[in-house]
Copies of this chain bind each other. A is one copy, B any other.
Amino acid sequence: MEPVTQAAPSTRTTVRRLPERGNYDRARIDAVLDEGLVCHVGFVTGDGTPAVVPTTYARIDDHLVVHGSPASRMLRSLKDGVDVCVVVTLLDGMVLARSTFHHSMNYRSVVVYGRATEITDPADKRAALDRLVEHLVPGRTEHARGPNDKELKSTLVLRLPLDEASAKVRTGPPVDDAEDMELPVWAGVLPVGVAVGQAVSDGASGTDTPVPEHVAGWRRGPVVVAE
């Protein structure tokens, strides 16, 4: 459990459940955002019901950026300025206690509330699209062909300020009740993370391009090897 190092930037940003796990420090928030691969975007649809859409994202300084087709309902809603809630969740471990009641997960998550705006300036838009690829696969934009004007026009890019963001973190071993400590039950943490397999070429190139280092060396988060 992490100390609260800073005040929450807004009421809705305040971590309610288990507030001792809450954290409003930007460096910690940025670290979670920069490690995640996917965010879940929550918004309220026109008929008042909730929607949640998983999508890729990237952080650029004090904003998150998301992108996609202008036909996306999610992007169209966000572009119209509706309230949005974006969550990035990283799983770090299964926490196995002596009682089922105290089972838990070690995790780091970030919640961002706010309203998104469109990035219309072509240079900013191009930079954001590059960053979206670099966030997922660092080094990739040096190799792949960048967006042409037609692709740029057919992509909607939005940004969301990080003014209202909070992190929630659980780390460490299980916390069992005193009367359970002598039970003959193994208790501890099973670390989990992002596993990476062998890159699979699509086999469609004219020449047999070797797997480049930015692909072969790709890792995400604390290295966890499956033995």
Asked if B224 and A195 make an inter-chain contact with CB atoms under 8 angstroms apart, the answer reads yes
A196: Cβ under 8 A from any B Cβ: yes
Give the residue of B93, B96, B141, B194 whose beta carbon is less than 8 angstroms from that of A100.
Answer: B141
Cα A188 to Cα B53 in complex, Å, equals: 25
Quick one: copies of this chain in the complex? 2
B198 in contact with A136 (CB, 8 Å) = no
In the bound complex, how far is the Cα of B144 from the Cα of A187, in angstroms?
9
In chain A, positions 145-180 with a C-beta closer than 8 Å to chain B are: 145-148, 151, 155, 173-174, 176, 180
- A48: chain B residues at CB < 8 Å are 44, 48, 83
Chain B's closest residue to A172 (CB) is: B202
With a cutoff of 8 Å between Cβ atoms, the chain B residues found around residue A4 in the complex are: none
B215 contacts A190, C-beta separation under 8 Å: yes
B181 and A206: CB pair below 8 A? yes
Contact pick for A201, options B38, B188, B209, CB 8 Å = B188
Interface size on A, residues (CB 8 A): 105
CB contact under 8 A between A187 and B202, given known A51-B42, A113-B49, A151-B101: yes
Most chain B CB inside 10 Å of its own CB: which residue of A49, A50, A218, A220? A50
Apart from A38-B105, A190-B218, 19 more pairs, CB < 8 Å? A37-B192, A40-B87, A44-B44, A50-B50, A96-B140, A96-B215, A97-B144, A99-B147, A100-B133, A103-B133, A143-B185, A143-B186, A184-B209, A185-B209, A190-B196, A190-B197, A190-B200, A195-B224, A196-B227
